[in-house]
Every structure is written in C-alpha cells, then in structure tokens.
Chain A
Amino acid sequence: MSSGDQERLLEESLRLVENESQLMNQALKNNELMDGLKHASIMLGELRTSALSPKNYYKLFIDVTLQLSNLETHLNDQSQNGINVSELYELVQYAGNIIPRLYLLITVGTVFLNCGHVSKKQLLCDLVEMCRGVQQPLRGLFLRNYLLQHMKNFLPDVADTTTYDTTDNPDTDDGTISDAIEAIMTNFSEMNKLWVRMQYQGHSREKEKREAERRELRILVGSNLVTLSQLDNMNLNIYKEFVLPQILEQAISCSDPLAQEYLMECVIQVFPDNYHLSTLDDFLFACKQLEDQVQIKKILGLLISRIAAYVTDEKNDAVPTDAHLFEIFSKHVEDLISTKQSLPPDDIVSLQGNIVDLAIRCWPEISEYATIVYTSLVSVLETLKIHSIVYGTALEGEHLLLLNF
C-alpha cells in the first residue's frame, strides 16, 4: 500500500474516532451510559484494522486511548455515585468483537480496581488472561500495552508475608508483589511472543522492513521490564530468584536475535547495577545460549561499562574485587568464544577489549589482568590461524582500539 493510501486511511479513521468520541462524550454528559458505551465501542472498532502500518496504528491508538480516558474519568466519577461497577464489568463483555470488548474491559477493570471492591490479584489475573484472545501481533501488542499502562497503578506492590491469615477471603485478597510480578511476567512473555511472531508474517522479501517495524515497537515489550524494575518491593533476592530467570528463559526460548539482543540490553538498562553485580554468572551464562546473530559484544560492552562505572563510583560501597569480577568475566568470555564457533574474529577481539577495559577501569594497578587477556587473545588468534591482520578491516580496527587502552 502506498504511503498516500496509508495517510488517507489513517485520516479516515481519526475522523471517525473524533466523531464517535464526541457522541460518546455527549451521551456521558447526558448520563446515557449505554449510549456512551456504544459509541466507545464503535470508536474502538477502528483499532480492528489490519491496513495501517505500525506507525500509523500507533497514532490511531494514541487518539483512541486519549478518548477512552474520558470514559474512564466519567466512570470513576459515577462509581462514587454508586453505579454498579461489577455489573458494568459483565456488561462490557457483551460486545461481540473482541478488540472493543477487551479495551472496554480493561477500562472498566481499572475503575473497578479504583473503587476497591474487588481483589486486585484476581482482577489483574483475569485481564491478563482474557487478553490471550488477541493473537494478531500488532493489535495484541497495543492491547497489552494498554493493559500494562492501566494495571501499573494497581499492582499489589506489598511485601510477601510469611504469616497467613486464616480468615483469608479470596475475594478481598489483593495479593502481594509475587502476584504483581506474575501478572507482569505473563504480560511480558505474551507481548514478547507477539513481537517475535511479527517477524514471520507476510512476505519473506519484506524481512528487513519488518525488522525495522519491529524495532519501532520494541519499547512496548520493554516497558514491562521497566514496570517490574519500578516496583517498590522489588529486591535483589526476588530479582535473582524469580524475575531474572524468567526473563532469561523467555529471551533464550524465543530464539529471535532481534528480541534477544533487545531484551538483554533492556535488562542491563532498567535494573540497578548492584543487581547485575550479584547475578553476573546467570546473565553471562544466558549470553552463551543466544542466537549466533546476536551482537554479544554490544551486550557485554554495555554490561561491562555499567559495572565498571558502578564499582568505581565512590558513592557505592562495592569493593572492586568483590565477586571476583575479573575471573567471572574472563571465564565467561573465554567460554563464549570457544562455544560460539560463528563468532567473527573482530568480535572476539572486541570482547577481549571489553575485559581489558574493565580491568583498567577497576583495577588500574593490577597490570597482570591485562597480560592475562592479551595472552588469551593471542592463543585465540593462533587457534583461528590468524597470523596477520589486514589494515582497514574490522579486525584491525578492534585491535587498534584494544591496544589504545
């Protein structure tokens, strides 16, 4: 479809959204709730389109959800005046089409949570589960993004307690951070699956176009991890035991280079450095299992520079020799080089360069670390039977960088 057609389609949709939202707002003003919901549903029907590019779909999504927030505000007000939100939660599920239905369900669900007459744990679980009905990647990603944006404020972000109330009533049980994590993790893995699935839709000759489109959408997947990292009751132990293993499992099992590279970088970016320091082994072990096309050097480079900055920052009380940093990194990098046969020589040099970088920044006085790396590098080059480096190649560039440290 030409970009002109795209523009036209988008404009048509936006106009309809504008129109229906006006009617919706008018009906809400007149306290005609059913009419308001009807127009909201017609408006949301625009999000059922398959014709728009991700960029244009995003524009449409922004418009529609902005209008939906009016409905949400209205319902919140009305819930103070005693409308039965639980009935409303059922009512919106009569919508015949699934996209309007689920957007309305999430909206009403938020109002339901807001008025506090429902178990957070159960309702979040329900919303996350019902979204499974949308398997179309683009529509599913945006729907689940809408869900994430809305559930953010209602996550049961309280510490797990070991004492259990015997009068525990599941209807009022809001759950704990474990339930919050479970809800986000499920949403995350579903979004990641949809995102990966985008790659396999449409013509194979449009592979690159799809990759570019997917890159535009990665932030939708990543925002789940951001939300996780922002939980007040998140701690190192929970991260190490529950969160990281699940993210890594998801990244490895999806077998998609683009997703893997993004998710690994995302983990490094969104979680605090002291978490990384304590989970280096797990993270680096996972790196070895990633697809060959993944730019491991980028991931490790990022991780090492974060770690180096962290341990050298005087504000942090981390001792540079903690956790045998150097040994861990050099061991994993060596493992990585020996297991990944496809790793190009310039990447190997780059990886080694990262280690040297780490050594120089954290332990400038220990020169033997550098020697160890160089020795290791020499042996790698020998194994690869590389005896001369051609000027101007990537390999030469990486060497120059390395020697410049």
Chain B
Amino acid sequence: MNLKIKMSFFGFGQSADIQIILNNEDKLRTTKVKLEDGRIEKRFLFYDGEPIEGEVVVKLKKANQKLEHYGIKIEFIGLIETFYDRNNQNEFISLKRDLATAGEILQQNTRFNFSFLNVEKPYESYIGNNVKLRYFLRVTIVKKFSDIVKELDIAVHTLSTYPERNTNIKMEVGIEDCLHIEFEYNNSRYHLKDVIVGKIYFLLVRIKIKYMEIAIVKQEVVGNGASTFRENETLAKYEIMDGSPVKGESIPIRLFLNGYDLTPTLKDVGKKFSVKYFLNLVLVDEEDRRYYKQHEITLWRKVDEELRKKNFTQNGGERITDSNPPIMETNSNDIKNNDDEILDDDEEDDSENPTSTL
C-alpha cells in the first residue's frame, strides 16, 4: 500500500487509464440515481434482456512506454451488497469476456470491443439504507503487483404492466366510542407517477382532532432469520386535513407520487432483501396523541408507451416481458374490518412512534 502511494507520488503509479465507452452513448437512455451520500448521478439505463456493448480504451500515460500485463478482461456483474456485512456480497450475475491474453501494450491508445448480448437483469437497481443492488461493468488489467481496475455503474429498471382494474380499498377503522372513520383509496397498486385518490369519512368523532396527514413509509428488510435488519423511513408527510371535523364530514385525498423519491416495491430480491411501501394515515388530537392506520400499497414501474413501441420494433414484434406477473386480486371491494382498530402497538421501532389513548 505504502509502496503504491509512493510510486504514484513519484509519477511511477498506474501507468494507464481505462475508459469504458458504450456504443451510441448519446442515444442511450439515462436516469438520475441518488447515491448513498445523497449526491445525484446520471447513469445509463438498461432493461432486462437488453445487450450491453461498447469498447474499452486503454490509454498509456506516457508515450514510448509499454504496459506489461497478464491479461485484460471485462465483466458484467450484478451484485447485492449488504452494508452491515460488506464481505457478504452476493453476485447474482457475473459474465466475463477476455479482451487480451497476457502480453504487452505498446500503443498509447488501445481499443477493445466488447459485447454482452441478451443480458439477464432480473432486478431493479437499488440504493437503500442497509442494502445496495448494483450492476456494473468492470475492466481489469491483471498486473504483477496491483491490477488496474475500472468500473462503470449502470442503472436497471424493471418494468411491469398491470391490467387496469378497479381495486378500490375501503375500510372502516376506529376506536370504540371515540373515533370511527372509513377510508377509501382508489387502488392498492400504484405506478411511480400515479396519483393516490381517496376519501376519509368521519362516522363518529368524539376527540378533538388537530390535523390529519398521510405518510408514505418505506420499509426495508434486509437479511433473514436472526440477522434481519428492518428499517422504516418516512419519505413524505402530506397534510390532508386541518382542524377537527364533525360526524358526516368527508375529506378528499389526492397525493401525486411523482414528487417523491420512490422505487417499485421489491419483494424478496435474491432472497436477500425486500422494500415495501405503506400509506400511514395519522390523526393527531389536541393533546398530540396520534392515531394511525397503516396500509400496504404496491408500487410498480410503468412501461411508458414510447418505450413499448420501440421495444416492439426492436424485438421483432415481441412484447416486452413483464418482470412481475400480475398479482391475483385478493381485496374484495368492501373490507369491513372493525377489529382492526387504530392502535398504538406499532410493530416497528419507528422513532416517530405514534402514541394513542388506548
């Protein structure tokens, strides 16, 4: 390690730079990715099955110098990293192409083409609090002491289509002789740019409510068994009522999801982690007691029409495959759920744990 620093200090360090250039970069789709440190980075975006092609350029730092190596390779890797255990990395995809066998590079700019066709990318890229799922290309120039390595991250989105179906969620909840409400959401599944439309009906109000809000809660569950890490994060708080209603009042809900930093619902990805989303309806009374009702929603990424058409022609008329098969409807239109009271026994250790009078 010391040696390496010294060497680079004196200008003997890495004698070559590696550049990974994808074909038609200016025409590739890109997406913005929020990194762990909060920075936003633009990345090339790929879907399942799409080829990844391009070239690797090895640039020697000095002319008239040669680079000896024991081989050059490029890999396409899909990886799940858990933050609490960095050593436990799970490569669910690893493809390799040898670009050069052992030898030496004499030209200052040496180019190698590479091509990964029909690359399986089964999961969505994800950067969470305790887990990261990433795809990247890695070029390695194997050397005697330390390899020269270059990585290029790409983003992967998984797309779904669902039939347009009316799956109204209606539920009556409450605390006996204190508060009865009925809430209604227009769906249990929303795509990432969807709108949650709903209504809250007040059937009985015997507390003085100060306000009511809807929170979007993201739950990340990493690992399994004894080493399960579960974390809840409130992504949005959206006030939907100011003041105390009386019996018979109905309060509209309209929440545009587009404005928040959401991912699709991810279930048991690579048997490593899950990401679920909940709508948390919270009522706060004048003594700041909180009453709430949580309800899971499924988020999915919609295929936009533009892309669908393009893929249709590209794939020779074959329809783009749904990554998630449509889920069977389990919600009947009117779930009466009187036992399901708004309680304070939140199973998660949320720092903003509601308190309730019950």
Contact = CB atoms under 8 A, between A and B. Distances in A.
A139 B244 CA distance: 12
A140 interface: yes
Interface in A76-104: 90, 93-94, 96-99, 101
Interface string B2-30: 00000000000000000000000000000
Interface in A96-115: 96-99, 101
B119 interface: no
Contacts of A139: 242-243
Nearest to A102: B242
B238 A135 contact: no
Given A90-B256, A93-B254, A130-B254, A136 B244 contact: yes
B245 interface: yes
Contacts of B242: 48, 98-99, 133-136, 139-140
Contacts of A132: 249-252
A130 B241 contact: no
A136 B243 contact: yes
B259 interface: yes
Contacts of B239: 96-98, 101, 133
Contacts of B245: 135
Interface in B216-237: 236-237
Nearest to B245: A135
A139 B249 CA distance: 17
B237 A94 contact: no
A48 B243 CA distance: 11
B246 interface: yes
A97 to B, nearest CB: 5
Nearest to A139: B242
Contacts of B243: 134-137, 139-140
Interface residues of B, number: 19
A140 B211 CA distance: 13
Interface residues of A, number: 20
B77 interface: no
Contacts of A101: 239
B303 interface: no
A90 B240 CA distance: 15
Contacts of A90: 256, 258
B256 to A, nearest CB: 6
Nearest to A138: B243
A140 B251 CA distance: 13
Interface of B: 236-246, 249-252, 254, 256, 258-259
5 contacts: A90-B256, A93-B256, A97-B239, A98-B242, A134-B241
Contacts of A133: 239-242, 251-252
Contacts of B238: 96
Contacts of B251: 132-133, 135
A376 B228 CA distance: 88
Contact of B241 (A93, A94, A98): A98
A94 B256 contact: yes
Interface of B is mostly: strand
Of the candidates A99, A132, A140, the one having the most CB atoms from chain B within 10 angstroms of its own CB is A132
A137 B236 CA distance: 27
A135 B241 contact: yes
A264 B100 CA distance: 94
A332 interface: no
B252 A130 contact: yes
A192 B237 CA distance: 30
Nearest to B237: A96
A96 B259 CA distance: 11
A195 to B, nearest CB: 13
B241 to A, nearest CB: 5
A134 B240 CA distance: 8
A189 to B, nearest CB: 12
Nearest to B244: A135
A93 B239 CA distance: 11
Contacts of B252: 129-130, 132-133
Contacts of B256: 90, 93-94
Given A134-B242, A135-B242, A139-B242, A94 B259 contact: yes
Q: Of residues A48, A135, A140, which shows the largest number of chain B Cβ atoms within 10 Å of its Cβ?
A: A135
A38 interface: no
Nearest to A197: B246
B182 to A, nearest CB: 15
Contacts of A136: 242-244
Nearest to B246: A197
Interface in A29-53: 48
A90 B258 CA distance: 10
Contacts of B244: 135-136
B21 to A, nearest CB: 35
Q: A96, A98, A139 — which one has the most chain B CB atoms within 10 A of its CB? A: A98
A270 to B, nearest CB: 28
A137 B249 CA distance: 14
B240 to A, nearest CB: 6
B242 to A, nearest CB: 5
Nearest to A200: B246
Nearest to B240: A133
B284 to A, nearest CB: 13
A228 B240 CA distance: 29
Given A96-B238, A133-B240, 12 more contacts: A90-B256, A90-B258, A93-B256, A98-B239, A132-B250, A133-B242, A134-B242, A134-B243, A135-B242, A136-B244, A139-B242, A140-B242
Interface in A187-206: 197
A96 B238 CA distance: 5
B205 to A, nearest CB: 10
A225 B287 CA distance: 38
Contacts of A134: 241-243
Nearest to A99: B242
Interface in A359-379: none
Contacts of B236: 96
Interface string A337-350: 00000000000000
Nearest to B211: A98
A132 B254 CA distance: 12
Contacts of A93: 254, 256
A98 B249 contact: no
Contacts of A99: 242
Contact of A135 (B237, B249, B259): B249
B208 to A, nearest CB: 9
Nearest to A101: B239
Nearest to B236: A96
